[in-house]
């Protein structure tokens, strides 16, 4: 049976009214599957992509359970604990929990890094209904006995796969152990990797598995496009796209923090209202950027993958991938910032010659071929296959392959392309300048008795080894030997 409204899920009237006031009328698939099971006290293993409504799926049953309790929470304790991998996601969850509980009093607290620790301690001292935390700061307060979890009845791990990627597996296990086994636990993840399965088996008791989207499936009505562009042309292409007024609220994703700052700086120079958000920004700066973006003062938000799952701003019209992520799964999380709650959205990806393989990885993950427009500059189509261009050796022998299998008489089997190394105290391991070996040929050839061009001498590497051996013997004997070449690499 398909449930078409929240009242049919068994939620209290106050919650249904709060949802209606916030504009939520119809449950998403993950909400329709998870909420009834949690109201019955069952543990939940939820597999759902970003933008599928997970916060309400675990938050509404918790609030309903808290409303049924009497009294106040004990000092330094919380009735429900929600763990999130990033600060932005934690802030977003707290905002949504407050929205759901509009008509009833619900005390909440945020525990995360980058902001005042003392203010968090003071708020926890009175006890709260719901604590939303990142694992690192929560472990810090647990170790200092500023918070207790023995009274906690609900535990939620949101974006569990992301927490594992960020190295939070041990803190999560310690936090769960501090709560104890008498709890109701919900674990939500975008993927079901083997590590997630092991974590779920250790934390959940006979869970109900609910799945809204399979791995790699994109959520919502998102029009995905690819535009080929040289790396040096991406700035102009981005400005060309932003000249369209229909790009009203845009998130631009960069692969690195430095790249995000550079893109934001260039957009500011080009006359756009823009803010950047990434891991090197302070928490206050990150929240200020999000507020400006949410209230419309900032049209463009430049971000890295650390917040790909932590930006939930209504009516994001476009997502632009200025660079493709290293992990193709992050592509799905990035574009999930648009097309939320059934709305349509557009995701545009700029791809240069070095990113073609990353694009293929994304297409394999989402199981579809993306439409491609534009062209790459001449000579860049196969850049990711060529890598760094090799130096030219002897004409007619690209890549420094031997010109003659037997070697030219008189030059000791010299290879085209072997040349002077930066460290002149040893022969170059590769290169294309034949001068180094030629000079060695001349010098050591004289020592070998001045063999003429009509008779091939020993190979240059053999003669080099002979020269080193004789020099070492002379040094041990106290003689001068032939002086070694001076190392000029540090000059």
The answer on pLDDT for 450 being more than 80 is no
pLDDT at 414: 42
Flag whether the pTM goes above 0.85.
no
In angstroms, the Cα distances linking 67 to 60, 258, 424 are 11, 46, 78
pLDDT at 461: 59
Of the two residues 188 and 217, the one the predictor is more confident about is: 188
Q: What is the mean pLDDT of residues 441-469?
A: 51
The answer on pLDDT for 295 being more than 70 is yes
pLDDT at 405: 44
CATH 3.40.50.300 residue window(s) in the chain: 6-211, 221-386
Q: What is the mean pLDDT of residues 360-375?
A: 92
- For the chain, what percent of residues have pLDDT higher than 90? 49
Please give the CATH number for the structural domain made up of 6-211.
Answer: 3.40.50.300
Q: Any idea which fold 221-386 has?
A: Rossmann fold (3.40.50)
Average per-residue pLDDT in the chain? Answer: 80
The answer on pLDDT for 64 being more than 90 is yes
pLDDT of 370-405, one tens digit each? 999 988 887 665 544 444 444 444 444 444 444 444
pLDDT at 255: 93
Confidence bin at 139 (pLDDT 50/70/90): very high
Confidence bin at 113 (pLDDT 50/70/90): confident
Contact by Cβ (8 Å): 305, 253: yes
Exposed e or buried b for every residue in 389-427, given b needs 16+ CB within 10 A?
eeeebbeebeebebbeeebeeebbbbbbbbbbbeeeeeb
Residue whose structure tokens are 């007619």: 396
Assigned token pair, 234 = 């991406």
pLDDT of 311-324, one tens digit each? 778 789 999 999 99
Confidence bin at 199 (pLDDT 50/70/90): very high
Of the two residues 221 and 82, the one the predictor is more confident about is: 82
pLDDT at 24: 87
Of the two residues 138 and 86, the one the predictor is more confident about is: 138
């Amino acid at each position: 049976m398909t449930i078409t409204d929240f009242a049919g899920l068994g939620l209290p009237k106050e919650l249904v009214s709060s949802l209606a006031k916030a504009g939520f009328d119809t449950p998403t698939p993950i909400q329709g599957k998870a909420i009834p099971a949690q109201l019955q006290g069952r543990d939940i293993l939820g597999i759902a992509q970003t933008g599928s409504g997970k916060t309400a799926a675990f938050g509404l049953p918790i609030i309903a359970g808290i409303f049924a309790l009497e009294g106040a929470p004990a000092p330094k304790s919380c009735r429900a604990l929600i763990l999130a991998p990033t600060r932005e996601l934690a802030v977003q969850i707290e905002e949504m929990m407050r929205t759901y509980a509009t008509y009833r009093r619900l005390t909440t607290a945020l525990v995360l890094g980058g902001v005042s620790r003392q203010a968090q301690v003071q708020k926890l001292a009175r006890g709260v209904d719901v604590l939303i935390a990142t694992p690192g700061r929560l472990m810090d307060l647990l170790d200092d006995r500023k918070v207790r979890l023995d009274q906690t009845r609900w535990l939620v791990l949101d974006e569990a796969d992301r927490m594992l990627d960020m190295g939070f597996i041990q803190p999560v296990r310690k936090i769960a152990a501090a709560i104890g086994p008498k709890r109701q636990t919900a674990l939500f993840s975008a993927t079901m990797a083997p590590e997630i399965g092991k974590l779920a088996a250790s934390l959940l008791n006979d869970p109900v598995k609910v799945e809204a989207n399979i791995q790699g499936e994109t959520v919502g009505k998102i029009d995905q496009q690819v535009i080929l562009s040289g790396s040096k042309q991406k700035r102009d292409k981005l400005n060309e796209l932003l000249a369209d007024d229909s790009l009203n609220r845009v998130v631009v994703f960069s692969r690195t923090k430095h790249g995000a700052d550079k893109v934001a700086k260039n957009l500011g120079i080009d006359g756009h209202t823009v803010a950047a958000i990434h891991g090197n920004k302070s928490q206050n700066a990150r929240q200020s950027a999000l507020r400006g973006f949410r209230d419309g003062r900032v049209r463009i938000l430049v971000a890295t993958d650390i917040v790909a799952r932590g930006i939930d701003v209504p009516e994001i019209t476009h997502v632009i991938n200025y660079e493709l992520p290293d992990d193709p799964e992050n592509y799905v999380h990035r574009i999930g910032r648009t097309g939320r709650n059934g709305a349509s959205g557009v995701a545009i990806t700029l791809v240069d010659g070095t990113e073609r393989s990353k694009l293929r990885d994304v297409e394999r993950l989402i199981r579809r071929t993306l439409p491609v427009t534009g062209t790459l500059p001449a000579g860049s189509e196969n850049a990711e296959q060529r890598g760094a261009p090799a130096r030219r050796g002897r004409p007619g022998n690209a890549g420094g392959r031997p010109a003659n299998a037997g070697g030219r008489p008189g030059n000791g089997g010299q290879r085209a392309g072997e040349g002077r190394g930066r460290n002149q105290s040893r022969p170059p391991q590769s290169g294309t300048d034949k001068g180094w070996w030629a000079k060695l040929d001349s010098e050591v050839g004289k020592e070998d008795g001045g063999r003429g061009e009509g008779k091939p001498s020993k190979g240059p590497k053999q003669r080099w080894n002979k020269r080193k051996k004789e020099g070492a013997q002379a040094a041990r004997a106290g003689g001068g030997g032939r002086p070694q070449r001076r190392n000029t690499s540090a000059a």
